[in-house]
Amino acid sequence: MSALNIKKGSSAHSAYDLKNPNAEVIESHTLTVVVDNEAGVLARVIGLFSGRGYNIESLTVAEINEEYHTSRITIVTTGTPQVIEQIKAQLGRIIPVHSVNDLTVEGPYLERELALFKVSGSGEKRVEALRLADIFRANVVDSTLESFVFEMTGTSEKIDAFADLMRPLGLTETARTGVAAISRGNT
């Protein structure tokens, strides 16, 4: 059989970057999916994930092209390399899906999330919250004598870190948008 030595993977056209399916390593991937903005399209995507038991860490969607009625969905998902490949192939099967891109595989990319934090308190804690917000470049978008609402844009990790700091200082409410992502460079 050594004569039958062939290279793995199909061709330039193939999306299958073959990896060991038994590898138990769980990877996090950021996928962007361009879809027709029609009724039920989000349900198709979400139904695929729930029906086949895939994870959704974050999912955002909004129309990006009014003329062609297309929306862009950004999904952060986790799974073994084989599962990630399946997720992409299954997404590609949905009829209103135009394209599926795996930013994690395709090269450098940016991820941003917006978060709103309500922090209530007074005295030292209130001053400390404002000081930390300044360090993290969070904006104060609402204020009362006993509360702030901070607005912050950044990576999910940065937002997590800020939330951790705010918790002992009177964090009462959090709202996050989920991740929007785009590749770096001109393509």
Binding site for another protein (CB under 8 A): 1, 3-4, 6-8, 10-11, 13-16, 18, 20-22, 39-40, 43-44, 47, 51, 82, 85-86, 89-90, 92-93, 95
Minimum Å distance from CB 106 to another protein? 17
Minimum Å distance from CB 142 to another protein? 36
Interaxial angle between packed helices 41-51 and 81-93, expressed in degrees from 0 to 180 and rounded to the nearest 10: 150
Beta strands in the chain (DSSP E): 27-36, 58-65, 70-79, 97-102, 109-120, 139-144, 147-154, 171-176, 180-183
Minimum Å distance from CB 109 to another protein? 23
Q: Which is nearer to another protein, 2 or 186 (CB)?
A: 2
- Select from 85, 89, 71 the least CA-distant residue to 34: 71
Determine the Cα–Cα distance for residues 159 and 163; give it in Å rounded to an integer: 6
Q: Which is nearer to another protein, 14 or 144 (CB)?
A: 14
Minimum Å distance from CB 183 to another protein? 22
